[in-house]
Structure 1
Amino acid sequence: MIQHTFVICAYGDSPFLEACIQSCLEQSSVKSNRSKVVLYTSTPSDQIKILCQRYQIELFVKTGGGIGIDWNNALSVVDTKYATIAHQDDLYLPDYGEAVLSEFESQADTNLVFTDYCENDAQGQFRPRHLNLKIKTFGLKLMSLFQNKGYQRRIYAFGNFICCPAVSYNLDRLSDFQFDTSLKMAVDWDAWERIMKRQGKVKFMPRQLMVHRIHEDSETTVNTENQNRELEESMMYQRYWPKPVVKLLMKAYVKNQKAND
């Protein structure tokens, strides 16, 4: 029985989209008929249509207008209990689907499951686990020590440690959830912070089960260069800290942005 959907969120004509599709179709959970793969886009093109036809995956087209709108639209086409918004540039290791399904099934009140990850570049070469990535993994491990929401939010107040394409959602429990469409870069941090306030668990799996691609045309790079990221993350820090502390945290944050180069 299909319980989980990889909904690939495609924008424009990415040279990495086919590899993402292949990595999703190679999932052990897809081969065992526990997961399926579909594709959502707000920018339909011949390339996207051809790839969907080649790999026989269902294509959904809606009107977009930003990351938050596209992510909301992507989840809206899912008809299974669990979902992963797969980003077109990224790769999922074959056990990702089975691992998150097992974690969801182990505790029925789990809202989110997310894994550790590694990074590669435009040429497919793996990037060293730089200091910023090590700090994020350490933060996630600290968060996972206890399921107390107050404790988790205190750890999360130091930064967004969760990699958005590594996240899977329990849509039965999050049926009324919407991403904030006014944000461009802190969409995910805002989402996880709001979900943490809800009843239910947020679970981290300390296994590197997906590969996040960093390249010059990625949303991460574009928004870092035009300072959207800095402005929005400063706003997020202000939810937790007084302004003098925010200034100190932002100094460290801006320095860590260089890890995206």
Structure 2
Amino acid sequence: MTQGLRHAFVVPAYGQSPYLRDCLASLRAQTRPSPIFISTSTPSRWLADQAAEFGATLVEHGPNRGIGHDWNQAIAAAPAEWVTLAHQDDLYLPHFAEETLRRVDGHPDAVLVMTDYGELAGAAARSWTPMLAIKRLLAEQAFLGRAMLGRRRAKWRLLAFGCAIPCPAVTLRRERALGLFREDLKVDLDWDAWLRLADGPGTFARVRRLCMLHRIHAGSETSDGVRAGVRAREDLAMFQRVWPAPIARVLARLYAVSYEVGEP
């Protein structure tokens, strides 16, 4: 195990994503370099070749037990104080690690650092969509111009009207993130994890600068979850954690409308 490692990227890789090479190239191009790990339950020669080409460490685990298990294994695979779960389809702008670690240095009690993000649809990068605007509004009403949230009530306010913390744009304090993700959830395992982190000590910190691009495509886990109706059920369960049942049902329906016209 690497000792004294400040930050690492770890990519939970599954199968042969056509976008993985672009993701790895974006991680290698960081202005503040961090080691790259690839964690997988589907090892292959192709994946080993990608790791070798981009200087990444390949860590295998098994068997394949779903996305929550993959994420937990990925966190465990990256022996650093801070870990970014870099989603294999997404792109990380060159300043992502630099901006994130600057925020870490300014808030030593942080347990989670989030950055702003845009979307990538095909070859088109989008810094504004109605959904991105809503998520930024949710973040603004929680942070109120600050760079961090320390009180439980403020952290829950960030998550009370939807999951305003974009999972691929998050960097976690590893010691608090080991085993963090529920393995019985399919879509909202990140929202659930942030709610539980919000209950504990430590601050949530925010970088307002756009630092990564989340790819929108029909084969993503979120898109699969929406089509299967899983997301609607899990969203309702999350809202019921925060609100009385009648309000939770209304919010869940409004949230569903948002991803009927575009992925949240």
Give the TM-score, by structure 2 length: 0.92
Question: Which position in structure 2 is the counterpart of 1:247?
Answer: 249
- Aligned identity (percent) is 35
Between the aligned partners of 1:40 and 1:11, the Cα distance in structure 2 is 9
Paired residues of 1:130 and 1:259 also in contact (CA < 8 A):
no
5 Å matches for 1:83-162? 83-121=83-121, 123-127=122-126, 129-145=128-144, 147-162=150-165
- Secondary structure of 2:75's aligned partner: helix
Show CA shifts across 1:86-116 (max 9, x none).
0000000011101111111112110000101
Between the aligned partners of 1:206 and 1:28, the Cα distance in structure 2 is 18
5 Å matches for 1:93-242? 93-121=93-121, 123-127=122-126, 129-145=128-144, 147-172=150-175, 174=176, 177-242=179-244
Question: Which position in structure 2 is the counterpart of 1:72?
Answer: 72
Equivalent residues, number: 255
Please say if 1:57 is aligned against 2:56: yes
Between the aligned partners of 2:45 and 2:143, the Cα distance in structure 1 is 43
Q: What residue ranges of structure 1 are gaps of 5+ in the alignment?
A: none
Of residues 39-48 and 211-220 in structure 1, the stretch that sits farther from structure 2 once superposed is 39-48
Residues 1:51 and 1:176: Cα distance change in structure 2 (over 3 Å): closer
Give, in angstroms, the shift of residue 247 of structure 1.
Answer: 1.9
Between the aligned partners of 1:55 and 1:178, the Cα distance in structure 2 is 28
Between the aligned partners of 1:71 and 1:176, the Cα distance in structure 2 is 9
Of residues 3-12 and 238-247 in structure 1, the stretch that sits farther from structure 2 once superposed is 238-247
Give, in angstroms, the shift of residue 220 of structure 1.
Answer: 1.1
Paired residues of 2:120 and 2:215 also in contact (CA < 8 A):
yes
Amino acid at match of 2:40: T
Paired residues of 1:144 and 1:203 also in contact (CA < 8 A):
no
Between the aligned partners of 1:155 and 1:161, the Cα distance in structure 2 is 6
Between the aligned partners of 2:177 and 2:54, the Cα distance in structure 1 is 29
- Secondary structure of 1:8's aligned partner: strand
Amino acid at match of 2:65: G
Structure 1 segments of 4 or more deviating over 4 A? none
RMSD: 1.6
Q: What residue ranges of structure 2 are gaps of 5+ in the alignment?
A: none
Between the aligned partners of 1:129 and 1:230, the Cα distance in structure 2 is 25
Give, in angstroms, the shift of residue 229 of structure 1.
Answer: 0.8
Residue of 1, 8, 12 corresponding to 2:11? 8
Between the aligned partners of 1:40 and 1:156, the Cα distance in structure 2 is 28
